[in-house]
Amino acid sequence: MSETAKSFRVERDSMGEMQVPSDAYYGAQTQRAVVNFPISGRRLARGFIAALGMIKHAAAGSNNALGLLDDEKCGAIRKAADEVIAGDLDAHFVLDIYQTGSGTSSNMNANEVIANRATEILDGEIGSKLVHPNDHVNMGQSSNDVIPTAIHIAVLQAIENDLLPALRTLRTSLDNKAKAFDTVVKIGRTHLQDATPLRMGQEFSGYARQAELSIRRVGGCREAVAEVALGGTAVGTGLNMHPELAGRVIQKINERTGLEFREASNHFEAQGAQDSLVEASGALKTVAVSLMKIANDIRWLGSGPRCGIGEIIVPAVQPGSSIMPGKVNPVIAESVIQVAAQVIGNDLVVTLGGQWGSFELNTMLPVMASNLLESIDILANASRNFAERCIDGLEIDEERTASMIEKSMAMVTSLAPVIGYDKAAAIAKEAHQSGRTVREVARQQKVLSDEELDKLLDPMSMTKPGVPGA
């Protein structure tokens, strides 16, 4: 036998024989999908594969308890599924994201890997189907309810375990800076032009509130994602499934994850549509928009250091230029902005995927899974990194903030209620044309006493509600 022949084994499925790599746990159906979908080289996320393993593990135990699967096969399947959950068999999950829209190929990939590994555990020959991928591992299931369920499990776990903790870290960092910076008065800006003063702490309190609302928005979609399609099998009717199977499987998954998944109240909605995933993606997009605004503001506020705004000093984490010595760039903020752009793009794909439900099945599930899980992953990583490598190390150039306030023509705003809008506007115009400050022009024109001007032009008093000096 040649070396080439030795490196393959022959497996059969309903379409006939297929050569499969001899060291692969997957079988004929997976190999056909490998051949059919040489698209991107991108595979589905670790969390999704683990979720498939959880479903197969729980289904085997439940089918055994219902008297449908013998103890020996059940034990072997559960052991193999544990290896899938742990990531030990990830090398055998070889399929491209861009595959059959139902994810049938990925479901069969899991079924075949677990079946062959279970067969090996029972001292059988790989490919012999001593443990059958369809009859045993997939018992009482369909790709059409397993795949959306796996997506929901992976998404909710990633939200709970990764994204929400990261957003809480970012909120805490921003809130800490809001408190630390609350005595520093700076010039406000609207339309990128000078506006009335505010406290740096007030500005950062807005960012902290955005992070707080991001947590709320992401948390709000958990209820919808927790409802899973398992139990509908092919078209939502539950054909070929023991009536108690889905409930038992979901209970086991809840015990393993500590989360509270529940069977869909309407399986036809749960399989024909994926509105809950669209809702979750919309929340992620909103978080991305918030992070982009915060990161861009930090970038602007730290611009300079001498010829920009330069009110804050951004931590120097790496050299900023290959040609300009000493240059430091706001690279952490820039990474956040790029992540936000990717998440916004991912949301469009999820939105298009959600509307691609035709009759009893959505057929863009793999790409929806990939984009959602990528968005959660990079948002979590970017939020945590932003907090720890940028926000926590921010400092203020207080001399610069004070200087900018005094130079701003927006200071005249607090004079308007006392001397009138038109007269205040004339002072601002004169200050601009002459290069003097509002205070200097107002004193020169003797519009008010020095004592009254000092009260009205006190920057700290302008950061509070009411009329300054009243």
Q: What is the pLDDT of residues 140-186, one digit of tens each?
A: 999 999 999 999 999 999 999 999 999 999 999 999 999 999 999 99
The confidence score (pLDDT) of residue 467 equals 83
301 and 223 together in one domain:
yes
In terms of C-beta distances under 8 Å and separation of at least 24 residues, what long-range contacts does 244-249 make, across chains too? 244/62, 244/66, 245/59, 245/62, 245/63, 245/66, 245/140, 248/58, 248/61, 248/62, 248/65, 248/66, 249/55, 249/58, 249/59, 249/62
- Distance, CA of 229 to chain centre: 23
In a domain, 442, yes or no: yes
In terms of C-beta distances under 8 Å and separation of at least 24 residues, what long-range contacts does 120-128 make, across chains too? 120/25, 121/76, 121/79, 121/80, 122/72, 122/73, 122/76, 126/9, 126/25, 127/9, 127/10, 127/11, 127/20, 127/27
Average pLDDT over residues 26-32: 98
In a domain, 83, yes or no: yes
Largest Cα span, the chain: 106
53 and 190 together in one domain:
no
**% pLDDT > 70, the chain:** 98
191 and 296 together in one domain:
yes
Domain final residue pick, 118, 139, 160 = 139
Any idea what the CATH number is for the domain that residue 280 is in? 1.20.200.10
Give the range of the structural domain holding residue 363, as residue numbers without chain letter: 145-231+271-397
In a domain, 445, yes or no: yes
At 218-268, the pLDDT tens digits run 999 999 999 999 999 999 999 999 999 999 999 999 999 999 999 999 999
Domain count of the fold of the chain? 3
Any idea what the CATH number is for the domain that residue 412 is in? 1.10.40.30
Q: How confident is the model at residue 278 (pLDDT cuts 50, 70, 90)?
A: very high
Average pLDDT over residues 419-443: 96
In a domain, 250, yes or no: no
- The Cα 59–Cα 140 span in angstroms is 8
Does a cis peptide bond (omega within 30 degrees of 0) precede residue 465?
no
Is the pLDDT at 469 greater than 80, yes or no? Answer: no
187 and 60 together in one domain:
no
150 and 176 together in one domain:
yes
Distant-in-sequence, close-in-space partners of 37: CB < 8 Å, separation ≥ 6: 95, 96, 98, 99, 105
Q: Over the chain, what is the mean pLDDT?
A: 96
Domain final residue pick, 139, 173, 190 = 139
In a domain, 159, yes or no: yes
Is the pLDDT at 1 greater than 50, yes or no? Answer: no
172 and 118 together in one domain:
no
- Among 373, 353, 382, which residue's Cα sits nearest to residue 365? 353
DSSP class of 358:
E
The confidence score (pLDDT) of residue 37 equals 98
At 336-389, the pLDDT tens digits run 999 999 999 999 999 999 999 999 999 999 999 999 999 999 999 999 999 999
385 and 455 together in one domain:
no
Helix, strand, or coil here: 145? Answer: helix
Any idea what the CATH number is for the domain that residue 44 is in? 1.10.275.10
Active-site residue 321, yes or no? yes
293 and 373 together in one domain:
yes
131 and 149 together in one domain:
no
Judge contact between 416 and 457, C-beta under 8 A. no
- The Cα 366–Cα 351 span in angstroms is 13
322 and 453 together in one domain:
no
In a domain, 245, yes or no: no
In a domain, 149, yes or no: yes
Active-site residue 267, yes or no? no
The confidence score (pLDDT) of residue 6 equals 63
In a domain, 51, yes or no: yes
- Among 60, 80, 55, 41, which residue's Cα sits nearest to residue 157? 55
- The Cα 237–Cα 239 span in angstroms is 6
Amino acid type, 2: S
Which of 321, 403, 434, 449 is catalytic? The answer is: 321
100 and 157 together in one domain:
no
The confidence score (pLDDT) of residue 468 equals 77
Domain final residue pick, 397, 422, 447 = 397
Average pLDDT over residues 124-137: 97
Judge contact between 273 and 357, C-beta under 8 A. yes
Which of 2, 14, 191, 322 is catalytic? The answer is: 191
297 and 337 together in one domain:
yes
